[in-house]
Chain A
């Protein structure tokens, strides 16, 4: 599976900070289903994204996020805002 630079960065982050097993990381993976992240995990993930990508992530930003690909899109969107 080919991952671009941002996806790779996110994969490493989720492995280190969220303990996600490497083999479970796929763009189409759902956070609550495939990755078994609950609401507190989602808060932790938002904080980890802030630390890693130098962006500000609000609760509203995270609400529509369902899949890994949504997280990637969100990072791009917020990095664009910050630029």
Chain B
């Protein structure tokens, strides 16, 4: 079976542009959450978000191209450029038919869709907008990345809401395992800080309404959690077949050892009782990696800061890991950067890979009052030095779709 490693990483997150900004933020235990500034949220129930600030697409993109991309595509392109540079891949020689792209997103270019509708309403159907549709459909992050880097291998986009980024990485892992490509750019991107999306999530009562203290709003596993905080951004990784990476002297960050997908088949928005689908997904991912529960040191939890997810995820972890659950470090980076939806699983993979490399586990911040139903070691508030050799990344989504990835530390080259 072909083995798959990560040789490059790129990110645009509420901590800023670039993986160093992300890691610095996560290890410092700061919050990237603030009041919404992207639109006037005064009438909305939830008025906090983790926005990407000071983003200039023209540092990477030509203006002509940037005008034709919704923000989620721009984030993905900037992250992809960082990842490709990081991996030392020099197009077009290193890319081509053996390099593919899979990028996940929950909803794609909703802000541009709304803008298009407003133009239609204001100007009528003869005021054509030829570039709006290609700017916003969910597969255009993968499309534009392939155009930019000449990646003519397998190309796809996955839209499984909060699991999309993790699924994209998992499916890219499988593509390389099957021998259909040697290199895959994979990850997720999301940019939905727009009134209609907040309206939808407010209607579900899914978002935190701790508007007077934004930095304390995202508090996974805490007894007083009251919903998630919407974030935005992108994370793209370069996945590569291990011998291909070694032959060109590529930096090797970590190995992707296992992946699984399951469904709760239970409820559109609530997780199955006892986190059944999630537990099964974690077990299957461990089987896929040919590892045992006791081998895992750290779980990067889905940990959204909702009442349901955090409770059921805790139960699921205990079911899978048994007595070992008490020895696990479990933390949620959503406590710091909010929930990046389709990008969240991919950002979590980057954070987890850095945890493996650097021996530092990011904390779950805003952990102030333990919840009796959530009684694991969530690495409260402060990042922790720890020897992490094997880690798991969880991503669970509406519709009951689940994705779990298992990552292992590799020796520094």
**A interface with B by C-beta (< 8 Å):** 15, 17-21, 40, 43-44, 47, 50
Contact = CB atoms under 8 A, between A and B. Distances in A.
A18 B64 contact: yes
A50 B130 contact: no
A61 to B, nearest CB: 13
B147 interface: no
Contacts of B129: 44, 47
Contacts of B130: 40, 43-44
B295 interface: no
Nearest to B130: A40
A47 B127 contact: yes
21 contacts: A15-B63, A17-B67, A18-B64, A18-B67, A19-B62, A19-B64, A19-B65, A19-B67, A20-B64, A21-B63, A40-B130, A40-B131, A43-B128, A43-B130, A44-B128, A44-B129, A44-B130, A44-B131, A47-B127, A47-B128, A47-B129
B7 to A, nearest CB: 33
Interface residues of B, number: 11
Contacts of A15: 63
A44 B133 CA distance: 13
Interface in B122-168: 127-131
B58 to A, nearest CB: 10
A46 to B, nearest CB: 8
A44 B128 CA distance: 7
Interface string B34-72: 000000000000000000000000000011111100000
A25 to B, nearest CB: 13
Contacts of A20: 64
A19 B64 CA distance: 4
Contacts of B64: 18-20
